[in-house]
Amino acid sequence: MRHLLEIDDLSAGEIDEIMKRAAQPQLPKVLDGLGVALVFEKPSARTRNSMELAVVQLGGHPVYIQGNEVGLDTRETVEDVTHTLGCYHAVLAARVFEHDMVERMAAVGRLPVVNLLSDAAHPMQGLADLLTLRDEFGDLAGRSIAYIGDANNVARSLALACGAAGMAVRLACPPGYGFGEVDSDRLRAAGVEVVETDRPLEAAADCDAVYTDVWTSMGQEDESDDRRRAFEGFTVDQTVMEAAADHAVFLHCLPAHRGEEVAAEVIDGDRSRVWPQAENRMHSARGLLSWLVEQA
């Protein structure tokens, strides 16, 4: 039985297989007659819609479950909830606050577990990002991507995904907002060397793609004012995009705050790929679920 808690749970070859499946408009109905539990402690428009439609496209039945309906570690332990859902479903996918939650779900060993987002990782977004870049450039070996902003869960999964594809990864962030020692060690263990700087233009120079995310993630709202001050000068604007290669594209996992982490003329401009990127959440989810069910 396999799980996807972070991108490096997959080998480069397995990621390639998932990408190939994701690129196919139709796949065998491997979930025909089966259910997929979608547990959401944190809401999301893209994650819910992409996962539900991916399950339907594979012939399955998605069941959306809010966190307060199952009461993880309040009404019941995470382990008991996982056992219960395993009585009905073929896959459990969860969007949670703490990464420990999905680790405990996977440790039960009852059914495959997919991390739809945690405070430590966002592997489903990483797969969609990789699919978007492949659609744009084909073979990604030797390409480069610059992530400008907070080295958060999205940045880590992106670095692991792009590194596995042979891309050079650069990170520009204010002091104190880069990858910590544990994350840096994990990236190196996966064969990914991230070049870090505190200068956005340096990171973006001649790169093939520029990526950013909100400066304040869900659950960090009390840090908003401090983060706006810390990230002043880290907005991805036309100057940043002009530093990148002429063919460079812009990516953002959404939701976006125009005028903060990205200028409106960039995210709404002709170099932006945010809507194909959002659509690819569904296609990459279909590819992953197709592959994952076969491993169970």
Peptide bond just before 255 cis, omega within 30 deg: yes
Choose, from 119, 129, 150, 213, the residue flagged as catalytic: 213
Burial pattern 62-101, b for ≥16 Cβ within 10 A else e, equals beebebeebebeeeeebeebbbebbeebbbbbbbbebbeb
Q: Residue 59: is it exposed, middle or buried by C-beta count within 10 angstroms (0-12/13-18/19+)? A: middle
Q: Residue 205 gets which letter from DSSP? A: T
Is 281 a known active-site residue? Answer: yes
Amino acid at 230: A
Tokens coding 22: 């994701």
Point out the catalytic residue in the list 3, 89, 95, 227: 95
32 flagged as catalytic: no
Residue 253 designated active-site = yes
Contact 11, 190 (CB under 8 A): no
Q: Sheet containing 89-95: which strands, arranged edge to edge? A: 61-66, 35-40, 89-95, 113-117
Token pair in block for residue 52: 């539900």
The reply to whether 213 belongs to the active site is: yes
The residue from 46, 89, 125, 286 that is catalytic is: 125
Active-site residue, from 89, 110, 122, 134: 122
Length of the chain: 296
Catalytic one of 253, 271, 273, 286: 253
Query: From the candidates 110, 156, 281, 283, which is the catalytic residue?
Result: 281
What CA–CA distance (Å, rounded) separates 189 from 167? Answer: 16
Reduced to 3 DSSP states, what percent helix, strand and coil does the chain have, rounded to the nearest 5? 45, 20, 35
Q: Catalytic positions, please? A: 95, 122, 125, 213, 253, 281
